[in-house]
Chains A and B, each alone.
Chain A
Amino acid sequence: MTELLFAVPSKGRLESAIREKFAALGLAIERPGGARAYQGSIAALPGIALRFFSATEIARELVRGTVHVGVTGEDTVHEAARNGASQVILATPLGFGYADVVIAIPDAWVDVNSIADLADVATDFRHRHGRWLRVATKYVNLTRRFFAAHGIAEYRIVESLGATEAAPASGAAELIVDITSTGATLRANGLRVPEGGTILKSQANLAISRAASWDSARRAALARLLDAVEKGLGSKVRV
């Protein structure tokens, strides 16, 4: 088996986006068993075996090296492992799946315009309330890295796997770090992004695993895949 394992999202918005994009590039994805199948192929690219995963699993599989290349966003790569970003090469941005990882605070925090303000609030909060300021997020690694880089040490992360934007209202946390594409959800929940509060701008990428086992056949297959996608993106469907 020297096939190149190519992990693509199995369902949802990302699945249809990648299917449409690859079809437009002349690289139609074949999934013989339908939406429940977990294996597939691309007729135009022999030597490549498609594996369907849920979107968040793809980054993890890339970090572990159980697949060679996959469609995933930078945000999930960072969360798959603390050293995730060094295990995966983001080769080709695909022009969809745009999302920003941002800090969002309640609108009513009229004293906070910047990240520096947030650092002060964290210190003051601990002195005033005797506990840490809480940040609800599923982006634990990104949050820790960004906060550390900005000198914010006095906080605790509350892991949140869904409806993070509701955490300040429910009292589960004082602020959040979450993904947003239009900002509408944040606004609807009375939250705003302070100046400098964008942690990461992410989009779907062709991402290559460093940890996977590579041989010449797989390298050649990878080169054909990247060539076909980059040529296609460059000439016709640049979004």
Chain B
Amino acid sequence: MSADARRAALKQLVDETAGWRAAPAILQPADLYFDLAGEAIGARLLLTSGEDGTEYCLRPEFTLAVAAEYLTSELAGTGQAIGYLGPVFRQRQGGPAEFEQAGLEFLGPVAGDPFDRSLAFAFAAAKIYGVDTPELHLGAVDLFEALLAGLDMPDMWRPRIRARFGHKEALAQLLDRLAAPETTELADRYPAERGKLIAVIASEMEQAGLSPISGREAAEIADRHLEKRALAAARVPEATVQILRLYLGIAGEARAQLSRLEKLAVDASVDLAALVADTGLDLREPIARLASRINAIAAHFKPGIIRFDAAFSPPLDYYTGHVFELVAPKTKAIIASGGRYDRLLERLGSAKPIPAVGCAVWLDRLEEAGS
């Protein structure tokens, strides 16, 4: 089969799986990507600007463009299985800036399990290119969020930790800080009473001519200053940091990791049973979800190996559930990736939550992996 024939077969697969095929414009507003993914994706965009100064980018992927179009159409809120195939554009070290992606977005309530349908699509796409037994790399954002919600710590740390999930180094740096005491060198120079502190900061801001209507407000700065003082006294419990580190270190053949998760007693010094009593942490439900997912995948798709990595997630905070990547055994390249991102449509402006699951495959990597 030629490359053209493989592409045609993939196109047919997209059309068979999806209700219809979307063709979002190649030229997209850059803000769409900056607003949802920040500078991490911004650094990889191919940017251009209009005469009126509006910034555009060549679409770097399909998900955001497809979801944004869905949300502004009359289809918003309805269940849709949307397919796509076409060029995307990214600054990248290996390979040209233009390459092709195909994929699916299941937006709103759809028939069947959209995660299974995404996986089925990814495995079928791999097969078209001769990758019969790809490795499956699995993550569980829901499990991490449940763990984070249940662990004992001052609340302000939860969003900070969540924001770093998927950035392995950043998260490790943060955990190191949690383990070490906070410093508050400036503490002595400022009043401890909130009202007075706000007044002092507000007058400093005024003297510096800082815009009072934008940026960080005096109360916000004062609160965080006081929070730092409070944290110096009441820190994150050592056991919490230890559990997070243990959890994030869980990686390997999926079924073996399940039993580690069920115990989370990798180290004899941490006993999950004791922890549950302390904090009300209950991971049974997300662990059961993960277990049935792993069993179903093993039975239906027979991948080369299923790996579970507790620290694995795309570094985007709209992901909410299971996430996956298919890896080609020969090239070790990621040929497909997908997952559940129930927060995406609300981030794009939807007034109510709309479930979303999707998956994308890289055509150039599939070609390489199969040849």
Contact with B along A128-171 (1 / 0, CB 8 A): 10001000000000001001101111111100000000001111
The answer to whether B210 and A108 touch across the interface, beta carbons within 8 angstroms, is yes
The number of chain A residues with a CB under 8 A from chain B is 42
The answer to whether A168 and B215 touch across the interface, beta carbons within 8 angstroms, is yes
The answer to whether B210 and A168 touch across the interface, beta carbons within 8 angstroms, is yes
CB contacts (< 8 Å) of B315 on chain A: these are: 153
CB contacts (< 8 Å) of B218 on chain A: these are: 108
Residue A42 CB within 8 A of the other chain: no
Smallest CB-CB separation from B161: which chain A residue? A123
The answer to whether A132 and B173 touch across the interface, beta carbons within 8 angstroms, is no
Residue B201 CB within 8 A of the other chain: yes
The answer to whether A156 and B34 touch across the interface, beta carbons within 8 angstroms, is yes
Smallest CB-CB separation from B164: which chain A residue? A151
The answer to whether A190 and B207 touch across the interface, beta carbons within 8 angstroms, is yes
Q: How far is the CA of A121 from the CA of B213 in the complex (A)?
A: 18
The answer to whether A119 and B209 touch across the interface, beta carbons within 8 angstroms, is no
The contact of B211 among A121, A123, A148, A168, by CB within 8 Å, is A168
The answer to whether A157 and B40 touch across the interface, beta carbons within 8 angstroms, is no
Size band of the interface chain B makes with A: 35 or more
The answer to whether B167 and A169 touch across the interface, beta carbons within 8 angstroms, is no
The contact of B43 among A82, A113, A119, A170, by CB within 8 Å, is A82
Smallest CB-CB separation from A134: which chain B residue? B215
The answer to whether B173 and A125 touch across the interface, beta carbons within 8 angstroms, is no
The answer to whether A110 and B174 touch across the interface, beta carbons within 8 angstroms, is no
Contact with A along B143-179 (1 / 0, CB 8 A): 0000000000000100110011001011101100100
Contact with A along B46-84 (1 / 0, CB 8 A): 000000000000000000000000000000000000000
**A152 CB to nearest chain B CB (Å):** 8
**B214 CB to nearest chain A CB (Å):** 4
Extra contacts, 20 of them, besides A109-B221, A144-B43 (Cβ < 8 A), are A106-B216, A107-B204, A108-B208, A110-B186, A111-B225, A111-B228, A117-B228, A123-B160, A132-B34, A148-B40, A151-B167, A151-B169, A151-B170, A153-B164, A156-B38, A157-B39, A169-B208, A169-B211, A190-B208, A190-B209
Q: Could you tell me which A residues sit within 8 Å of B by CB distance?
A: 82-83, 106-111, 113-114, 116-117, 119-121, 123-128, 132, 144, 147-148, 150-157, 168-171, 173-174, 189-191
A-B contact list, 26 entries, CB within 8 Å: A82-B43, A106-B208, A108-B205, A108-B218, A108-B221, A110-B189, A111-B221, A111-B224, A117-B228, A119-B170, A123-B160, A124-B160, A124-B220, A125-B216, A128-B220, A132-B35, A144-B39, A147-B39, A150-B170, A154-B163, A156-B34, A156-B42, A168-B210, A169-B211, A190-B209, A191-B208
